[in-house]
Amino acid sequence: MSTIFDNKVENAWCPGCGNFGIQNAMKRAFSELNLEPRNVVLVSGIGQAAKAPHYVNTNVFNGLHGRAVPVAFAIKTVNPALTVIAESGDGCMYGEGGNHLLHNIRRNPDITVMVHNNQVYGLTKGQSSPTSEEGFVTKTQPSGNISRPFNPLSFAISQDASFVARAFSGDIDGLVRLLKEAIRWKGFSLIDILQPCVSFNKVNTYAWYRKRIEYLDEAHDPENRLQAFERSLEWGERILLGIFYRKKRPVYQERVKENLGVEDLLYRGFESENILQGELPRFR
């Protein structure tokens, strides 16, 4: 399916990479939400996942390892009219940038954080990542990873993040649906996307995931934080997908307006774009 978000930038991912599913789902979700390329900003860090914004026809900030979230936060703060999405891998978001994730959950900016979670470092060719399972053998963990994997969902729910979901890059329809929900959500939305790495992760493969994934059923109440937390702990024979938790919380950008009264300073140039367009002909 072609969309206005397609471009012709040469792709550097391995054939079969889970990133392709995420990239396609992203373009579809943007189209179905009727977003315009000029109003979307994709902010990424460093890693294979962080290359994704180059392959999508939107505004792009591809910067430095671990720092996508603070950059996205500030873009949204300066111009709340933009749809701002921070996108990177598990190493970037949960390792190098872990501290930024924590504090932006607290602030609750109206941004979406997409994490391509393949449980390995792909760009540097195969080292363990914060989400690698115990015993996972890599080039720098030759006798197996001895640290516990980071659980992003439990972490985010424990901190009362506004929106927490998990998707699988091998189910594009499901991923499109969840992405649209996450982007539409007013507040900080975290979407952890399970993604096979066909070159450096021979354990968590498409087949491995397909055997385990299952969407949360009707009985799950995403407003119930304790239930969400309990569900988020499950990982193994069954891996759950869907919206684990959501809770409306005041959004940072709105609180700045309300509490600090700085609306005029920060927003005037951008929100009055329509007025400006109306005035311009007078000066032609």
Partner 1 sequence: MQKILMKGNDAVAEAAVQAGCNLYFGYPITPQTEISEYLSRRLPDTGGVFLQAESEIGAIYMVYGAAAAGKRVMTSSSGPGFSLKQEGISYLCSAELPCVLVNISRGGPGLGNIQPSQADYFQAVKGGGHGDYRVLVLAPCSVQELVDLTYLAFYLADKYRNPVEILGDGMLGQMMEPVVFRNPDYPDISKEEWVITGKKTRERRIILCFALDPKELEKLNLHLAEKYAEMERSEVLYEVYGSEQPELLLVGYGTVGRILKSVVREAEKQGIRLALVRPVTLYPFPKEILRGQARKAGKALVVEMNLGQMVEDVKLSVEGDVPVYFHGRSGGMIPTVEEIMHRVEEILLKGGEARENNL
The whole-angstrom separation of Cα 70 and Cα 104 is 8
Residue selected from 21, 53, 66, 196 as contacting partner 1 according to rule CB under 8 A: 66
Q: Which stretch in 117-125, 163-171, 251-259, 264-272 sits in contact with partner 1 by CB under 8 A? A: 117-125
Q: Does 115 bind partner 1 (CB under 8 A)?
A: no
C-beta separation of 123 from 46 below 8 A: yes
Q: Which stretch in 94-102, 173-181, 223-231, 263-271 sits in contact with partner 1 by CB under 8 A? A: 94-102
Q: Which stretch in 2-10, 13-21, 138-146, 160-168 sits in contact with partner 1 by CB under 8 A? A: 138-146
- Closer CB to partner 1, residue 79 or residue 132? 132
Q: Which stretch in 126-134, 152-160, 169-177, 236-244 sits in contact with partner 1 by CB under 8 A? A: 126-134
- Closer CB to partner 1, residue 77 or residue 128? 128
- Closer CB to partner 1, residue 141 or residue 205? 141
C-beta separation of 30 from 77 below 8 A: no
Residue selected from 15, 142, 261, 281 as contacting partner 1 according to rule CB under 8 A: 142
Q: Does 140 bind partner 1 (CB under 8 A)?
A: yes
Q: Does 70 bind partner 1 (CB under 8 A)?
A: no
The whole-angstrom separation of Cα 20 and Cα 26 is 10
Residue 279 CB, shortest distance to partner 1, in Å, is 38
Q: Does 135 bind partner 1 (CB under 8 A)?
A: no
Structure tokens at 86: 């921070």
Q: Does 130 bind partner 1 (CB under 8 A)?
A: yes
Binding residues for partner 1 restricted to 46-65, rule: CB under 8 A: 46, 63-65
DSSP labels, the chain: ---TT---PPP-SPTT-HHHHHHHHHHHHHHHTT--GGGEEEEE-SSSGGGGGGGSSSEEEE--TT-HHHHHHHHHHH-TTSEEEEEEEHIIIIIITHHHHHHHHHH--S-EEEEEE-SEETTTTSEE-TTPPTT---SS-TT---SPPP-HHHHHHHTT-SEEEEEETT-HHHHHHHHHHHHHSSS-EEEEEE---TTT-SSS-HHHHHHHEEE--TT--TT-HHHHHHHHT--SS-EEEEEEEE-----HHHHIIIII--HHHHHHHHHTHHHHHHHGGGG-
Q: Does 128 bind partner 1 (CB under 8 A)?
A: yes
Q: Which stretch in 93-101, 173-181, 189-197, 238-246 sits in contact with partner 1 by CB under 8 A? A: 93-101
Q: Does 143 bind partner 1 (CB under 8 A)?
A: yes
C-beta separation of 101 from 135 below 8 A: no
Q: Which stretch in 19-27, 80-88, 134-142, 176-184 sits in contact with partner 1 by CB under 8 A? A: 134-142
Residue selected from 3, 31, 59, 141 as contacting partner 1 according to rule CB under 8 A: 141
The amino acid that residue 282 corresponds to is: R
Q: Does 158 bind partner 1 (CB under 8 A)?
A: no
Size of the site for partner 1 (CB under 8 A): 20
Catalog residues that contact partner 1 under the rule CB under 8 A: 46, 63-66, 95-96, 98, 121, 123-125, 127-128, 130, 139-143
